[in-house]
Structure formats: C-alpha cells, structure tokens
Structure 1
Amino acid sequence: MPEAAAAPDWLREGFKHLWLPYTQMQTAPTPLPVVRAEGAKLFLADGTVLVDGIASWWTQAHGYNHPHIRAAVAAQLEKLPHVMLGGLANEPAMVLATRLAKLAPGDLDHVFFCESGSVSVEVAMKMAIQYWINRGIRGRTRFVSFRHGYHGDTMACMSVCDPDEGMHGHFKGYLPEQIVVPLPRDAAGEAAFAALLAQRGGEIAGIIVEPLVQGAGGMKFHEPASLSFLRRVSEAQGHLLILDEIMTGFGRLGTMFASEQAGIVPDIMTLSKALSGGTLPLSAAIARRHVFGAFLSDRPDTALMHGPTYMGNPLACAAANASLDLFEREPRLQQVAAIEAHLRERLAPCRALKGVVDVRVKGAIGVVELDRAGEGVWLRPHFLERGVWVRPFGNIVYLAPPFVVSQDELAQLTGAIVDVLQIWSRERA
C-alpha cells in the first residue's frame, strides 16, 4: 500500500490499540490492510495486490479461501460451531482424530487436540514428563533440544528453543534449564550426543527436534540421517523422541511428514499450521500406543490433566478434514516438487552476490542467507514495490509459498528476491 494512500478508518483506529507480534510498537510502521485473499494473493484496501511468499507463516498449503474448505466450515457453522470436548463429542473432531491416526507414521494413533502450535508442544512435553512419573520413575524432567531450534513462545516452549540465538534471552533465569546442544551431523557429533544421553539419561524426559528444517531459528537444514541417528540412539538408551512437525508437516518438505524421509516414527509428534489448511486455529499432539498406555490405570491421578477450552473445535476440525480431502484428491506433493525445482533454479544467481552466505532449498522452502542480520527494514519496502509479500527475519530472506502458487506468481517472487538482493549487494559494496 503506497505510503501516501490514506489508511482505512478501521486500521487507523485499531492500530492505536492492537499489540502486534514480534514488533517494537514504538517504531512500527502501520501494517498493510488486507481485505481479501485468494489462492496465493493478498488484496489490500487500496486495490494493491501482493503475491504472498510466506503463506501466512507457512499455513496456506491450499492457498487462501479455498472453496472446499470454506464450504465445509460454512456447513459446520450452520450445525454446531462449538461444543466442549470434556464429556461431549462432535463428529468433525472424532473423524479428524481417526484420519490423523491413519495418516501419521507407525502407531502414532492417539490424538490430543489444542488450539495453537505452542500449546501442542507444551502438551507433548507434559506427556513426556508424566510418562515417566506414571511408570514410577522420578527425576526425568529435562529435555534435550538443539541449537537453532524453535518450538514456540509459551514458557515451556521457550525453554527448549535456542537460548542464545533465539528471541527469548530476556527470560533466562526464569525458564527451566534444558540441555541445548548442537544437532549431531557427523560421527564425532553422534558420539558426543550418545555420551551425553548416557551420562545424563536419568534426568532426561525426552528429546525434541524440528525434523529436517529448523524454521524460525534460521531455516537451518539437516539430513534425514541425523533424524535416523536420533531415533536409533533414543531407542537404544530408552528416551522419548518428540518431533515438532508444526512447520514441516503436511507436505512442506515434499512428503506428508518430514519423518517419512528418515523412515522413523517418533514417540510424540506435534502438528499445527497447515493442519486446518490455514483457516482456523488448530493443533495436535499425537502419541504412540506405548506413551498413551502409560496413562491408563484405575487411578485418576495418572490421567493427563490438560484441556484447552476450544480443543476439538468443530469448525476447526471441519476445516482440517476438508484440508485432508484436498491432500487426497489434488496433487499437492507434485506441486511442492515443482516449487522446489523452480526455487533451485531461480534463486541460484543469488550465490554470486556479495553479502550472500548461502542459498539452500528443501521442498517448498527457499532460503537466501545474508552475512548480516537486521536488513529487513531496508528490504521489505523494495519487495512491496515489486508486488510481493516477503518478510525477512534475522539474516534470512526466504520463500515458503502456498502450494497452489502459479508458475507466474512464483517467478514474480523469485525474480523480486534476485532483483532486490542485487541492488542490496551493490549498495552495501
């Protein structure tokens, strides 16, 4: 939206009162007023159209406002917008739990619904700690997580994020102290990690990792072999493995779940973002049978005492069921493969630019890593001038578009990144 254009009244008045995410409100520019979205496009109040390169934080697998999802939510709204899941049931939640249990790898077949990704991670961590308590084993209260990891912004989640390079340094001393180590990527790293688990095994409740791509911690990639090792060593030493598939799940990396590329089954898996097709808040923590079984007894105190108010919301579950329909009948994974090929080819010229450290692509994620952080303030207006919505963070410029993005739209996105970074590279020389 051009700077000179008058903002709508609702934006001018609301901006006085709304607290935005990850934003210094003292210096924040007025956000862009989106009035409609369709496919991979955002329509602003003044008529400007932007191609969305990050799919609203990676949620829009099928694009905005997909008619099948919209129709499913509208039909559910006519019947039952919400009912509590405590002692009552609704069909969309039960159907979705069944479908997820069949879709998830191995015997991941017990589904606990939440509203946000962070809460699903909190629930997974709570499951892991109580799993040991219910088995009569005390003292296992710490988690092993990894440098560059990110698992959410709530308190327990912050404790397993990277404590030095993440966003949560202010809370050091308040957060539980976890065991945060480099991700093992070679034989020496594997040996050190196995030794750590053996030495501190009695205090470890679980190991948590984002499979193949560590997202908000810097879009760091690792190979399936690293996941395979984590599964082997955790099983060998009796530790629970939690895979945070909130960003990587539902096709983003070319398979429905990233764990499939390593051929492993975690003990607990968390899902969100594209779960509902980017339509309504929904997340899940899915446990294997042996984890679920540790909570079964005649004693009430072994139950998992957690219950988000809107868990299993019928509208959100109806959207998720419709999203799964689309994965079944439309060529989403083939679209991801086509996006990957395009990103590899069209972002490659950035490698020759001064100030570019790396260009990497995995599935429908393309990353250009710069040699300095904080360039987003300069870069974003230049992207807007080229009709694209790209939101760099740290030293990362990345694309993670809706899977239904057209070749022309994708070319507009990659062309804008190459063009803008060429200018940026010349100006910084």
Structure 2
Amino acid sequence: MKSPVASLLWRSLRVYQVFGANTDVGKTVFTALLARAAKDLPSKEAVSFLKPVSTGPADEADDYHIRRFAAGVAHRTLFQYDIPVSPHAAALASGKETPSDEYLLAKCRDFAVECAARGSGWLFLETAGGVHSPGPSGSTQADMYIPLRIPVVLIGDSRLGGISQTISAFESLHIRGYHVQSVLLFQDSQYENHVFLADYFNKHHGIPVVSIPAPPERAKDADQDAEAMAAYYARRDCQTRATQVLEHLDRRHGEHLASIESMAAEAHKHIWYPFTQQSLLKPGDITTIDSAHGDYFQTWTPPTTKAAQANTPVLKSSFDGSASWWSQGLGHSNPKLTLAAAYAAGRYGHVMFPGYIHRPAMDLASTLLDGMRNPRLNRVFYSDNGSTGTEVAVKMGLRAARLRYGWGTDQKLGVLGLRGGYHGDTIGAMDMAEPCAFNEKIEWYEGKGYWFDYPTVLCKDGRWTVTVNDELSKDIGEDRAYRSLGDIFDIETREQRGEHHRYEEYISKVLVALQQRNLKFGSVIIEPIVLGAGGMELVDPLFQRALVNVVRQSPHLFSSTTHPAPRDARDWSGLPIIFDEVFTGLYRLGRFTPSSFLGVCPDISVHAKLLTGGLLPLCATLASEHIFDVFGSPDKTDALLHGHSYTAHPVGCQVALTSLREMQAMERRGDWQWARAQGWQSSDDASQSSSADNELWSWWPRDFVEMLSRQTERVAGVWSLGSVLAIHLRDDAGAGYSSNAAQGLRDALAREREGAGGPWNVQARVLGNVLYVMASQSTKEESIRQIVELLQEALV
C-alpha cells in the first residue's frame, strides 16, 4: 500500500542533507570530504551518497565526482537531466514525465532503506543549486524536502555577498523546521566570510562553523585537474576538519535519538494532560511526536527487540485523524502559514489593541465579515480561544436582552441551548452546558439554562434517518427515513410538507412552561449542525431552524411585561441568537459557515479552530451593530470590559488571514472537486443545485458511509459531512462519554502498517461510543482512500 514518506531516521544510519546557500559554493567538494573521512573512520562503516536531481553533462555530474574522488562510497543519482539549468526547466525541456514531489521523496527513502539494510553507516543527500532552487515539479527544495525531516549541513558562500546569502539560506531552512547542524564554507582571505559567520552562528544560534582552504582553481587539462583535486582531498587539514564535523554530527544524532526515546518518561513525570485520567496513563501510552507535515505526525516507534534497533526506522507516519483537536486545516508546517507568522512577528511582534489598529486585524475582520454573507454581522471582537469567545458572545447577548426587557442587574439569566452542547472549559462557558462529564464535578459549576432535546441524523442500515429518542417521540413523532442526506438538508421542501410544525409546537410548549416557572433567558447558543464534544451528533437542521424561528417570533415568551419590536430587519428579536461555530465553521462542513445550511443568520457568531489553520490560538466573535450599540454610553463601566494581553495579536491575525484566503482560493480553484464528485449530489437528491454554495458533500465517499452503516452488529449509525466522519458504535451498556465501545476500532487504526513510504498508522480519537476521523481541508484523495480501506478491514 502506498503511504506517506516517513522521516529518514534510523539508529544505525546517520542521514544528513547537504544544502547550499547558493549554486557553485562547493556542496559536492564538502560532501566528498565528509564521505572520504567517514570511510576512514576506525569503525569502517558503509558510506553512501545520493543526488536526487542532477543537471548538466553526465561526466560533470556530482556522483561522477564522488565516484572518482571518494572511492568505495555507494552512490546514486535518481534523475539526471543533461541540460545545465534549473531542475524544473531541465525536466520540462527533457520531454519526459516530470516526477512529482511525492515520487521523488519516495525514491529517496527507498535508497535510504537500502543503506540502512547494510548496517551502520552514513548517508549524505546532496541537493541541487541553492536552498530555494526549484525541484523538477517547480517546488522549491526548501519546501519539497520538508517531509523527510533530514538534519542539514549547510554549505555557506565564501564569495562577495556570501554572508547575506548564507544567513538568508539558514533562515529559510530554520523557519521551515529544519535542524541545521553545521555550517561549512571555504576560506577566502579577501572577504573572510568564514570569520564573520563563525562568530554570527555561534553567538545567535550555537551552530558550529567549520572552514577549510578553498580547492585549487580548475585546470584546463583534465588529468592535471584530477591530480590537483586528489592532492587537495589528501591534505591533512582538510581530513582533520572533516573528521571533526563527523564527530559533531554523530554526537547530535545520538542526542536526538536519546531525546526522542526519553521524552515520554519525562512527560509522565512532569506534564499534566488535558482530558486525561493520568492515574491510568503509563509512559508507554504517551506518543512522542518528533515533527509533523501535512496530515501526518512523525511519531516514535519503540523497537520490539534489541536486534530490531539497528535497521528499524525510529519514526513512523501517523495520520492526524482528529485534525489536531479540530484545528488543523492546511496541513502541519504549512510554509504559507509559517511565513505569515514570521512576517507578522518580524514586523510587529505583539502590540496592545485597545484604541489601536494594525493591518492584520483590520484585514482579517473584513475577510470574516465578507465571508459570512450575514447582513446582521458588522463588528468583530478578538479573543484567544473558542471558550473565551463564547463567553464574550454570551456577555453580549445577556446584556442586550437585559436592557431591552428592562431587567435589573440582580436578575438571574440563563441561556437556551441543546442537550450535549459544549462551548468550552472556562467557568462561564461550562455554565452554558447541562451537567455532564465535563463540568458536573467542578466546584463552581452552575448550569444556567435550559437545554432542548432534539432529533439527530444517522445513516442506519443504508437508510438516512432522522432519529428520535423515545422520550422526545411523544412530542415530535417517530423516526423518519429519507432517500439521502441531501433530502434531510433540503429544509425548504420539508417545510413545504409541513414537517417543521411539530418541531415548532414542541419548542413553543417548552418555552411556555419555562415562562410559567418564571425563568428568564438572555440568549440562545447552539453549535450549528453538529455538536462536537457532546458526541459528534448531527442535529436535524430543520429542528435548529425551527428553534431559531420560534424564538425570534416569540418575544412575548421571554418577557410578559415588555417586548419592544426590533428596530429593523437586522435587529434581534425574542433573544439574541448565538452560533458557536468554533468547531463547525470555516469549511469544516464544506462551507464557509454552517449557518447557510439552516438558512438563518445569527446575531452573534464565534470562530476559532480552523481560523488559523491550527498554527496559533485566536478567536473572533462577530456581532451585529445592534448588539454593539447596547454597550455604548458615556459611562466606561457600560463598555464590554473583556480582553486579554494578546487580544488581536498580529501574528495570529496574519496567520488567520492567510489561512482564510487560502481556503477561499482552494474553493475557487476547485481543489475539492474530487470530494464533491463522490456521490453526495446524485440525481435523486431533491437538494441538488448547480450552485456550489448550496452543495452538500463530504471528503468521505457516500457509498462507503452507507456501506459502513450496514454493519449493524457493531454499528448503530454513521454520518459524514464536509471533513468529518462519525461512526456510532453499539454499546449495550449505553452510549455516552463513558462508553468504551469505540476503543477497539481506534486501536485497529493505530496498529502499525508497512507501506511503500515506510511504517504508518492512523491516530484517531473517540468520544465514548463514537469514533470520528477528521480530514483537514488539504487532505488528498489518496489519504482518504487509504483510511477507507483500513476502516473497511476493521469493520467488515
């Protein structure tokens, strides 16, 4: 099976990547020196050289040089292009099929595996040109080689301008997560770049700089040139310094391995984990992540036996099946987001926000408001995370309701929501949820509100069903089957059939009963479409729409004495409607906002998670101008006195802006067309529309979802929408957060498998009896297909 390329890390094989600060800085000369010195070490280990891409005549190629001056070193060039130009231009001019980045990296790993099989040794992988010279596909090498995560030897530039070139090359590698272990360059008495760079790298980065005399000028006569180079390589000072570099590289290799292998035990002693009962946690249960790229972690694999240590890969690729707690959107270590963060950090760092503005915050606010297409929303309040953002939202909503209805500050107000709703872990956010495993043992918890029961959506035994529990069925009727998920989400047609009437009657009856108990409410807060931490429940969208409509049409149910009419069509009515879109927003479900599924616009909405593509914490609470006006008065204490030191920090805002614009560009380019074409918009869907804005689709194939639902002995139901796949397992002891029913399926996915790219598995999380797997917005079709195969093996 094809799999992502795992990092090239073995215990016995030391792999180093040789990058050049520029072209023609001596990469091959230094690599030859290191290879020769490694061959001469007392350990007599195997030494190998790999040139993934080479351009120019074969008799001038780098592996030819290695073969001539580093005898006994195994060597290989993967792609040789005769034209002496940039690899991307040479590949194009060759008329041959251009290898993809993934294919080229897989071939690199294949060679490394061969080297590791020979036992202890060294492998030097030499790049072409400078750090940002393009590979055959056009990707710059600094981006292309990231997945291999090979530590780097950087060859500096000793020529005029070389100081700048070398530092710039280092910074390009450093911000992409490369470990630059050493800088090597030639000595030049005229410029003495080596003197400055040695001081600079030692002072600022603790990286050793080693310089050696420059090789002789190239002789016109080939034989004379070869003799001169042989003499140069035989120089004692060259050999001594190359050996010193190898000793340093060997030491760093050992330190890296020791750090990886000890980290879990250290964490077990000192780290307090969230959502974890640590009395049940052993060091072996802790997964050590060495790096991450795209959808995959590189995780430590403990050796099964001592014999397996030598040539067994230390790391495996683990698919990040929870999108890193639902925050990962554009892939780990995405260079665009990395550069956005670096730019804002370099330009601003952090600057205080009250009464100030900076471009990243302004542009992000505009992008969010435009993307929502909500005529009610006009203001953006920044905070740090979703839990804080929902507290901000409720502060806004409660104040608006209190002032409109004339309640005093001593009037206790609650919220209306849905059972199982979850809005965060700060004290105020916990109070917005009914008693549950997340809050009921917290000393300050006071559940302040009422939470409606609701019908859910599942595909059960191949049939898409609106499911109603026994208690609720007395009010809204029994389960109802539909031809497709699209039919369920075609809420306008369902309303034409009158399906919403029983929902509205039930909601109104509950609100009347609450009013008779003299309970007061200040806001409605719901997670639109999907309740996340509450068990990955897909709520019938018609019910949520009915809830919003009834509340807006019934101000008399919230105050018997006064209920002023809304000032205009954009004003709130009944109660302020808050959509907690922290989980479901920003393309999680295939659209910029899930409110478009419901056909209603909230008065306040909260956005985090995918907002920054998983790189930094940031939250934005969007509100209407009418909500904003409530806090306006000459008295400062009437203001929304909320915030934190890092409100609207420029780094987070710039990253979020870049993330949103990239996802919007992906939508415009049709990057998700392969997922849209997986049968969700079939001809029998009543909801089918030519407009992409109205499409309902998923990264997970419809026929696969419906097939899983037919495994009725183990599966209670399945649903999928956007990037989310949720499998509800049967549990005779009862569903819920305390259930263990999904752990076996999670363990089956976590089992290590061997693929063409190396060992790999899937890291997934469970919510009681529900196993969910979540793609990022940049997940490729191949990865989805592989996980589909694993789930089929585990369940069928």
> TM-score, with normalisation over the residues of structure 1?
0.90
Question: Counterpart of 1:402?
Answer: 776
Distance 1:335 1:16 in 2: 46
Structure 1 window deviating more from structure 2 (223-232 vs 300-309): it is 223-232
The higher-RCO structure (CA 8 Å, 6+ apart) is: 1
Does residue 160 of structure 1 match 2:432? yes
Q: Is the 8 Å Cα contact of residues 335 and 403 (structure 1) preserved in structure 2?
A: no
Work out whether 1:293 is the aligned partner of 2:636: no
Residue type at the aligned position of 2:537: K
> Which segment drifts farther, 137-146 or 63-72?
137-146
CA distance in 1, matches of 2:674, 2:424: 28
Equivalence map 1:146-295=2 (5 Å): 146-164=418-436, 166-171=437-442, 174-183=445-454, 187-200=501-514, 203-237=520-554, 238-295=574-631
Residues 232-255 of structure 1: per-residue CA shift (max 9 Å, x gap):
112112111111111110111121
Secondary structure of 1:78 counterpart:
helix
Q: Which SS does the other structure have where 2:661 is aligned?
A: helix
Quote the residue 1:371 is aligned against.
730
Alignment check: 8 A CA contact 2:400 2:576 kept: no
Aligned ranges for residues 47-86 of structure 1 at < 5 Å?
Answer: 47-86=315-354
Unaligned runs of 5+ in 1: 423-429
Whether 2:288 is the aligned partner of 1:33: answer yes
Which stretch has the larger CA shift, 265-274 or 152-161?
152-161
1:121, distance to aligned residue in structure 2 (A): 0.7
Q: What is the CA–CA distance in structure 1 between the aligned matches of 2:422 and 2:673, rounded to whole Å?
A: 28
Q: Distance in 1 between matches of 2:541 and 2:706?
A: 23
Contact 1:213 1:219 (8 Å CA) reproduced: yes
8 Å CA contact 2:439, 2:445 repeated in 1: no
Letter in 2 for 1:22: F
Give the Å deviation of 1:148: 2.2
Residue 344 (1) aligns with residue 702 (2): yes
Look up the equivalent residue of 1:384 and give its one-letter code: A
2:664 paired residue number: 328
Q: Secondary structure at the match of 2:766?
A: coil
* Corresponding residue for residue 366 of structure 2: 98
* Larger deviation, residues 317-326 vs 32-41: 32-41
C-alpha displacement of 1:174: 3.4
Instruction: Describe the superposition over 1:382-425 as per-residue Cα deviations: whole angstroms up to 9, x where unpaired.
Output: 21214111112200011111122122211222222232234xxx
Aligned residue-pair number = 418
Preserved CA contact (<8 Å) 1:254 1:333: no
- Shifted more, 211-220 versus 230-239: the winner is 230-239
Deviation by residue 1:332-381 (Cα, 9 ceiling, x = unmatched): 66466357263422243322331210011122211110112213544433
Task: Please give the secondary structure, in 2, of the residue aligned with 1:311.
Answer: coil
Distance 1:175 1:414 in 2: 43
The TM-score, its normalising length taken from structure 2, stands at 0.50
Does the 8 Å CA contact 1:388/1:412 hold for their aligned counterparts?
Answer: no
Q: In structure 2, do the counterparts of structure 1 residues 51 and 146 end up closer, same or farther at CA, with 3 Å as the change threshold?
A: same
Task: Say if 1:255 and 1:333, in contact at 8 Å, map to a contact too.
Answer: no
Aligned-pair distance for 1:179?
Answer: 0.9
2:765 is paired with a residue whose SS is coil
Shift of 1:199: 4.8
CA separation in 2, counterparts of 1:79 and 1:356?
Answer: 53
2:272 counterpart (2, 19, 37): 19
Structure possessing the higher radius of gyration over alpha carbons: 2
Flag the 1:188–1:140 CA change in 2: closer, same or farther, 3 A: farther
Specify the alignment match of 1:427 in structure 2. none
CA gap of 1:358–1:28, structure 2 versus 1, over 3 A, is same
Distance 2:335 2:674 in 1: 19
Q: How far 1:160 sits from its partner (Å)?
A: 2.4
Q: What is the rounded CA distance, in whole Å, between the counterparts of 1:156 and 1:400 in structure 2?
A: 28
Over 3 Å counting, the alpha-carbon distance change for 1:195 and 1:336 in structure 2 is: farther
